[in-house]
Structure 1
Amino acid sequence: MQAFRVNGYDMAYLEVGEGSPLVCVHGTLGDFRTWYSVLGPLSKCHRVISVSLRRFFPEHWDAAGDDYKMAQHVADVIAFIEQIRPAPVDLMGHSRGGHIAFRVAQARPDLLRKLVLAEPGGDLDASLPVRTDGPAHPPLAARTARSVEMIRAGDIEGALQNFYEGIEGDGSWRRVPAAAKQQLRDNAITFLGQINEQRKPYTLSDTQAIKTPTLLIGGGATTGSLALIWRVLAEHIADAKTAVIEGAGHWMFEQAPLEYGEAVNAFLAE
């Protein structure tokens, strides 16, 4: 584990492999360990740099302060990438990390060569039309709020199960490997920051501002808003490419690491 000093904070990261740099940004409850399952496939062709965002493991945050904001995390990733050589870099984000990667590409396209968004999280503004025959939106915001209540009451395990099963379906929590569960536990307190992170919805003008060559990836078994958002974004980001990891859900890189790695490597090699 190493760290860069960014915006007054020591931002931890893990680096594996050689070649052109690929910076990986985790989502909710994640950290630099999020990408462990695909480090092998990805590091065959790239210098993979997996980051831990501000307030995530290895920090053990006490939920104090007001710097757990989407804008802060975006600024941190920008400052982190500015220190990497050679430039520009490839950037990949999952879920909430996909939202961060999108905002980095919107603000600083000069830092990026290519962009990979794995089921980016967030909400769609009314300016982005949604097909009426698409999947229904599950109440993820309500799930998150409920998990926050449970964490404040001391029920960490219940909070994590509530959130995870809201995405992957009832009964899915018991199938999560022990190491992956521990990673989520290590970052459970960050839920308290996320409830007021001031995340803005995607707008049509936002998507049209993305000029970096972009790949959007989704799990074939993902349902609800997470299955919808990446498809809508793909329709409005110029020349965006898409890939579906069949049989996998939201954590597709854990559930089908070889297939996920192949899709990413093929796009980055173009």
Structure 2
Amino acid sequence: MSEHPFEGVRTAVIDTVSLAYREQGQGEPVVFVHGSASDLRTWEYQLPAVGAAYRAIVYSRRYARPNEAIPEDADDPMLAHVDDLVALLERLDAVPATVVGHSWGGFVCLLAAIRHPEVVRSLVLLEPPVLSLFVSTPPRPVELLRTLVRRPRTALAIMRFGISTAGPAEKAYRRGDDEAGFEAFGRGVLGEEAFDRLSPARREQAWENVAVDKAQLLGKGFPPLSDDEVRGVRLPTLLMHGERSPAFLRLLTDRLEELLPRVDRVEIPGASHIMHEDNPQAVNEAILGFLKRP
């Protein structure tokens, strides 16, 4: 990564929020929305590859570096990020756009397509954590029981994630031990091996955004999402999952594949949850192949 990672970034002002962004190329707009523990830097391998044939735009969501930091004890509701994305597309004259979202950012993209289909041309979703298709956050026992009856593998995977990852991370953050929260969540979402492989620069990027992740984990959770809302997304959609991603993320992607009416799916070899960093060549090939379809 560059010694000056934010050199040359531009700023778009959306109401009272400033969003840092970069763009490269011309043509149909393709906008990238990052997930947790990251910012626009996570797309460093996608911007030049996609920007060679399209107008590629990467941005940092509100409160992510180098934007203004999140106020202490503030919530960070997902729907605010949906509104930011829609407003940014309009501000940059990038409507309609293909939106590419990773993890938390993928959920943002899906909600944008549901609520504002006029601004989205097509979707590329990299393991969005659509837990609210099954349970609230935090889950109610009756929801877990219902999911256990209907989709036992998914229910067990969600419970394991809560017990081994989300629960310990939340407890650590609440007692003020941000390092332990960061470690618990990172290892649970990426897997032990992938977390240990992170470069010092990538760990630094994640740590610089830890306050945002903390706010999201301790906040009100994901917005409700119904099967019918997902079925109503009639846009061309590409789903990706990492070969080595945790089971609960693969199972959530399975459900999206069942519900979305115009969907393709690709497995990224050798990759965990941050597949666009683990195997950027395969991810770029999948995105570009999808974009070239009539």
- TM-score norm. by structure 1 comes to 0.90
Is residue 18 of structure 2 the alignment partner of residue 18 of structure 1?
no
**Correspondence 1:1-270 to 2 at 5 A:** 1-59=9-67, 61-64=69-72, 66=74, 68-123=76-131, 124-125=133-134, 131-132=151-152, 136-137=157-158, 139-141=160-162, 143-151=165-173, 153=175, 155-194=177-216, 195-270=218-293
Letter in 2 for 1:212: L
CA contact (8 A) 1:38 1:254 kept: no
Q: 1:262 to 1:193 in 2, by over 3 A?
A: same
Q: Secondary structure at the match of 1:82?
A: helix
Cα deviation for residue 16 of structure 1 reads 2.3
Q: 1:154 to 1:173 in 2, by over 3 A?
A: farther
Letter in 1 for 2:158: H
Cα deviation for residue 196 of structure 1 reads 1.1
CA contact (8 A) 2:35 2:101 kept: yes
Q: 1:88 to 1:188 in 2, by over 3 A?
A: same
CA contact (8 A) 1:42 1:48 kept: yes
Q: 1:154 to 1:171 in 2, by over 3 A?
A: farther
Q: 1:146 to 1:191 in 2, by over 3 A?
A: farther
Q: 1:130 to 1:165 in 2, by over 3 A?
A: farther
Distance (Å, rounded) in 2 between the aligned partners of 1:172 and 1:98: 20
Matched length = 270
Q: 1:81 to 1:161 in 2, by over 3 A?
A: same
Distance (Å, rounded) in 1 between the aligned partners of 2:195 and 2:262: 37
- Identity among equivalent positions (%) equals 29
Please tell me the root mean square deviation across aligned C-alpha atoms, in Å.
2.4
Larger helix share, 1 or 2:
2
Deviations 1:179-223 (A, max 9, x none): 211110110011232121441243111111212111111111212
CA contact (8 A) 1:95 1:118 kept: yes
Greater shift in the superposed pair: 253-262 or 28-37: 28-37
CA contact (8 A) 2:194 2:272 kept: no
Cα deviation for residue 86 of structure 1 reads 4.7
Give 5+ residue unaligned stretches, structure 1: none
Cα deviation for residue 73 of structure 1 reads 0.9
Letter in 1 for 2:32: C
Greater shift in the superposed pair: 201-210 or 114-123: 201-210
Distance (Å, rounded) in 1 between the aligned partners of 2:188 and 2:53: 35
Distance (Å, rounded) in 2 between the aligned partners of 1:52 and 1:104: 17
Distance (Å, rounded) in 1 between the aligned partners of 2:25 and 2:180: 37
Distance (Å, rounded) in 1 between the aligned partners of 2:195 and 2:280: 19
Q: Secondary structure at the match of 2:210?
A: coil
CA contact (8 A) 2:73 2:215 kept: no
- Which structure has more RCO (C-alpha within 8 Å, separation ≥ 6)? 1
Distance (Å, rounded) in 2 between the aligned partners of 1:112 and 1:210: 10
Q: Secondary structure at the match of 1:49?
A: strand
Distance (Å, rounded) in 1 between the aligned partners of 2:264 and 2:82: 23
Greater shift in the superposed pair: 16-25 or 102-111: 16-25
Deviations 1:87-144 (A, max 9, x none): 3111010101010000000011111111111101131237999654568336444523
Distance (Å, rounded) in 2 between the aligned partners of 1:163 and 1:67: 18
Give 5+ residue unaligned stretches, structure 2: 1-8, 135-142
Greater shift in the superposed pair: 189-198 or 152-161: 152-161
